[in-house]
Amino acid sequence: MDRIAIVGGARLTGEIPVSGAKNSAIKLMAAAILTDQPLKLTNMPRLADTRFLGQLLRAFGLSVEESDPATTVLHAREITSTFAPYDLVRQMRASFNVLGPLLTRTGEARVSLPGGCTIGARPVDLHLKALQALGAEITLEEGYVHAVAPKGLKGAEIEFPFVSVGATEHALLAAVLAEGTTVLRRAACEPEIGDLAHCLNAMGARIEGIDTDVLTVTGVSSLRGTEWSVIPDRIEMGSYAVAAAMAGGEVRLTKSRPELIAALTDRMVAAGVEVEPTSDGVIVRRDPAQRLKAVDVTTEVYPGFATDLQAQFMALMTLARGESVIHETIFENRFMHAPELMRLGAEISVHGGEARVTGVDRLVGAQVMATDLRASVSLVIAGLAAEGETTIGRVYHLDRGFEHLEAKLQACGADVRRIKGESDEH
């Protein structure tokens, strides 16, 4: 397996363009199932996850054509299969969201349950209950969900017991072609959901209440093709903002929207980082001679502090003066990066959903191992400031969510390189 090696200590200076959002792109790709006309997506990230989903969509009979660095055209002229096997679904949890579009387009689907997850159970029961409310008949058999709707899906009132991004997206994808009106209450308000809803409307759907917690969907008989630009990736943007703060220097993040990471940059400013919004992103500045100040964060649903930026912020706090307390309220088991940061010399204690980080004077490079996507980039961030060389194993996690990570950091002066095919064990 590949590893990434980083020699810490270099300031970052330059510009990093932010890619399209992975978490939006994969749901937009699934939306192509809903129409027999082509869906053209621009600003598409080229990632392991989008490749996995493209492979799955081809198994259903879709054509998936990539052109230029960031354009993908998907065409579901005819659905030739409604079976999503475990070997494909297990590679990316979000691929389970093909169930709703297949069901509403064809009346039947058989999709593997996504299996376990390293950051908690993340059950799909809310997805299935939403589909049942819309009239689907669902049975579970040998690890697969078999859903049928021989008379089509019907609009319904659905109130989620708690905010779920995946269930909200899945219900939207199923409801747009359902007969009648569907109301989704306590819907998630993440920007990626808004991106999906606006794209569906451009395809002819009738969705109201976008960016609020109540979505009203008036079903239509068919959708058309369209061209849509994927929203910028706020998690990538936030990760590079924290990287610039950790290493010191001045980095301009472009092709993005500063309001998408306001909860993060507010905390960064409180810690002593300069953040200057621009027309298409932010400039992040920090003099590494000035010690950061410890600040607390609590993860929340959008527009609160994103759980997907918690690991990165923890890395930043390892060098801050004082103690910071990080409360994780979204996912269980999401502090698995803490022991790896401690291998670099960080002082972190974890108790349930709370992590206490006592800032240290320095980090020292070591061999570490990525446990999930966001944890892996936190180790990259820490390695940028650690003395000596840090090597990170299992970087296939990084490849799921960060496009050209080494090249983007190298362009700003980081000493980072990929080591091909060597052992990733400690």
Number of Cα atoms under 13 Å in the Cβ half of residue 368: 34
Looking at residue 62, its pLDDT comes to 98
Locate the domains of the chain by residue range: 3-19+232-419, 22-229
Please determine whether the domains at 3-19+232-419 and 22-229 fall in the same fold group of CATH: yes
210 known member of a binding site: no
Which tokens belong to 67?
């052109």
Reported in sequence order, the residue ranges of 304-364 that DSSP labels E, i.e. its strands, are: 323-327, 347-351, 354-358
d(CA 41, CA 19): 13
Supply the pTM of this predicted model: 0.94
pLDDT of residue 423: 46
Packing angle of the helix pair 310-317, 262-270 (nearest 10 deg): 10
Q: What pLDDT does 333 receive? A: 77
Domain formed by 22-229, architecture: Alpha-beta prism (3.65)
Residue 126 labeled ligand binder = yes
Interhelix angle for 165-175 vs 99-106, to 10°? Answer: 10
Per the CB < 8 A criterion, the answer to whether 319 and 341 are in contact is no
Rounded CA separation 182/192 (Å): 20
Distances (CA, A) of 319 to 13, 106, 212, 285, 289: 20, 54, 38, 16, 12
280 is an annotated ligand-binding site residue: no
Residue 124 annotated as lining a ligand binding site: yes
Most distant CA atoms of the chain, gap in Å: 67
What pLDDT, on a 0 to 100 scale, did the predictor assign at position 94?
Answer: 84
Is 3 annotated as ligand-binding?
no
Is 69 annotated as belonging to a binding site?
Answer: no
Could you list the pLDDT tens digit for every one of the 426 residues in the chain? 899 999 999 999 999 999 999 999 999 999 999 999 999 999 999 998 999 999 999 999 999 999 988 999 999 999 999 999 998 888 788 899 999 999 999 999 999 998 644 434 457 899 999 999 999 999 999 999 999 998 899 999 999 999 999 999 999 999 999 999 999 999 999 999 999 999 999 999 999 999 999 999 999 999 999 999 999 999 999 999 999 999 999 999 999 999 999 999 999 999 999 999 999 999 999 999 999 999 999 999 999 999 999 999 999 999 999 999 999 999 877 899 999 999 999 999 999 999 999 999 999 999 999 988 878 999 999 999 999 999 999 998 898 889 999 999 999 999 999 999 854 444
- pLDDT score at 137: 97
Confirm or deny that 122 is annotated as ligand binding.
Answer: yes
* Distance from C-alpha of 172 to C-alpha of 179, rounded to nearest angstrom: 13
Rounded to an integer, what distance in angstroms lies between the CA atom of residue 324 and that of residue 258? 24
Q: Report pLDDT for 118.
A: 45
- Return the active site residues: 117
Give CATH superfamily name and number for 3-19+232-419: Enolpyruvate transferase domain (3.65.10.10)
